Amino acid sequence: MASLWVKRKFLGNGSYGKVFLAQSTALLAYYKSPALVPFVALKSCLASRSSSLRLERDVFRELGGCDGIVKCFGSGVSVENGVEYFDLVLEYAPGGSLEQLLRFRGGRMPELEVGCYTRMLLKGLSHVHGKGWVHCDLKPANILVFPSKHGGGVFKCSLKLADFGSAKRGGEISCGFVDPCSGRKNRGTLLYSSPESVAFGEHEAPMDVWALGCIVFEMLIGKGMWSNYRRFSARVLGDLIAGYQDSGLIFCDDLSANAEDFLRKCLTRSAEERWTADQLLEHPFITESCKMLPLSQSGQTPKIMGYRRIPFSSSFVVSNNPSVFVN
Ligand SMILES: Nc1ncnc2c1ncn2[C@@H]1O[C@H](COP(=O)(O)OP(=O)(O)OP(=O)(O)O)[C@@H](O)[C@H]1O
């Protein structure tokens, strides 16, 4: 059986399997020229160990489309050298992850730029929470970077939320794992974990807002929120996060009042008092940043004619029409 995908490049390892840059074999046969065939990111794992990727597929199905979330085109089983693989087909992020972008920039980003990126992330988060899901593992490595649709403007990047492999439904009893290092019932990544998730194993929407606060902190300050404690063991760091008090958050003088207040609204110890993604979209740090931008970059996406949407499908049998993946 011929493979459905031609894997062009290995992009990275995840805990469930591997990610490849790939092109559809059927589209390559149809167009005859690889330059005409779009790239996708193929998250691939052994079909027999695909529960995590299948969960991610289900989450994408429920979330549907949103500008702030990486697009999922479908999923399916392919056979390679007699071995069955489960593949999740995602839009390819040519800019890599926000973690790579931060490393490349190597320091603080201008507030205006951070405000605009944060708005993109908040739009995605508001959509996820509105659909009743919690991402549970927001961090720079799970945010993907795309060239801005409108090109040539002030900022050339668009950010989208990715990696929903740890997501859970809001209100559902969490089955976090016991971290062997910290001894705590954890979900997600400790450095971006909120006090209530570390202290009480509470994994609800406010934990995503906390993680977003840590990410915005990193963009604005140029280093991670807990970077001074990197040498500490996971157990000690867990204790520090669990015991965090709002009064411990002190900022450098040159941060604007809006930026500082925004961070305080995200990094509030009490999950009940922490602002929601919807509230944060109305915060002056966001609204003022976007006022400074041309319309095309303020999040009001103009319609682009001639762009054909690829509908979501649960399998990627390719139809006669080479531009459409169908069920
Ligand atoms: N859609 C995509 N486009 C481009 N690169 C991607 C895409 N999805 C994932 N990657 C890259 O593939 C690598 C593995 O990503 P993935 O999100 O699957 O795992 P991870 O978050 O690194 O690990 P874990 O599964 O433990 O959370 C990362 O380097 C990531 O940047």
Tell me what pLDDT residue 250 has: 82
Report the amino acid identity of residue 179: D
Half-sphere exposure in the Cβ direction for 173 (13 Å, CA)? 0
- CA-nearest residue for atom 25, ligand 1, is 14
Q: Cα(87)–Cα(67) distance, rounded to whole angstroms?
A: 23
Q: Cα(288)–Cα(286) distance, rounded to whole angstroms?
A: 6
Q: How far is the CA of 250 from the centre of ligand 1 (A)?
A: 33
What tokens appear for 306 in the block?
Answer: 């001639």
Q: With a cut of 50, list the residues of the chain below it in pLDDT.
A: 151-153, 295-327
What ipTM was assigned to the predicted interfaces of this complex? Answer: 0.95
Backbone angles phi, psi at 8, to 5 degrees: -95, -30
Question: Minimal CA–CA distance to 147: which of 158, 139, 163, 138?
Answer: 158
Report the nearest atom of ligand 1 relative to the CA of 141: 21
Question: Minimal CA–CA distance to 281: which of 110, 123, 124, 117?
Answer: 123
Measured from CB, residues less than 6 Å from any atom of ligand 1 are 11-16, 19, 41, 43, 70, 90, 92-93, 96-97, 141-142, 144, 162-163, 165
Four-residue CA torsion sign, 195, 196, 201, 207: negative
Question: Minimal CA–CA distance to 279: which of 113, 62, 125?
Answer: 125
Q: How far is the CA of 217 from the centre of ligand 1 (A)?
A: 22
Site to probe by mutation for ligand 1, drawn from 8, 11, 21, 42 as the one with most ligand atoms within 8 Å of Cβ, is 11
Task: List % helix, strand, coil for the chain (3-state, nearest 5).
Answer: 40, 20, 40
- CA-nearest residue for atom 17, ligand 1, is 163
Tell me what pLDDT residue 16 has: 81
Backbone angles phi, psi at 49, to 5 degrees: -125, 45
- CA-nearest residue for atom 9, ligand 1, is 19
Q: Check if 163 is active-site.
A: no
Please tell me whether 9 is known to bind a ligand. Answer: no
Tell me what pLDDT residue 292 has: 66
CA 246 to chain centre: 26
Q: Cα(124)–Cα(199) distance, rounded to whole angstroms?
A: 27
Residue-wise pLDDT for 47-69, tens only, equals: 999 998 999 999 999 998 888 99
Q: How far is the CA of 57 from the centre of ligand 1 (A)?
A: 15
Tell me what pLDDT residue 32 has: 86
Tell me what pLDDT residue 82 has: 87
Average pLDDT score over the chain: 84
- CA-nearest residue for atom 22, ligand 1, is 14
Report the nearest atom of ligand 1 relative to the CA of 11: 12
Tell me what pLDDT residue 134 has: 96
For the chain, list the strands marked E by DSSP. 5-13, 18-24, 40-46, 72-80, 83-91, 133-134, 143-147, 157-161, 168-169, 177-178, 185-186, 317-318, 325-326
CA 291 to chain centre: 25
Tell me what pLDDT residue 228 has: 85
Residue-wise pLDDT for 16-32, tens only, equals: 889 999 999 999 999 98
Q: Cα(318)–Cα(311) distance, rounded to whole angstroms?
A: 12
Is-contact 285 115, C-beta < 8 A?
yes
All structural domains of the chain, each given as residue ranges with its CATH number in brackets, are 5-91 (3.30.200.20), 96-292 (1.10.510.10)
Q: How far is the CA of 13 from the centre of ligand 1 (A)?
A: 7
Tell me what pLDDT residue 155 has: 66
User: Model's pTM, two decimal places?
Assistant: 0.85
Q: Cα(231)–Cα(206) distance, rounded to whole angstroms?
A: 27
- CA-nearest residue for atom 18, ligand 1, is 14
**151-155 — which CB contacts under 8 Å span 24+ positions?**
153/293, 153/294, 153/296, 153/297, 154/112, 154/113, 154/116, 154/293, 154/294, 154/297, 155/113, 155/116, 155/117, 155/297
Q: Of the residues 137, 179, 246, 254, which is catalytic?
A: 137
- Lay out the sheet containing 5-13: strands in order across: 5-13, 18-24, 40-46, 83-91, 72-80
Question: Minimal CA–CA distance to 87: which of 16, 178, 12?
Answer: 16
Q: How far is the CA of 292 from the centre of ligand 1 (A)?
A: 33
Is-contact 269 245, C-beta < 8 A?
yes
Identify the bridge partners of residue 319 per DSSP, sorted by sequence position.
none
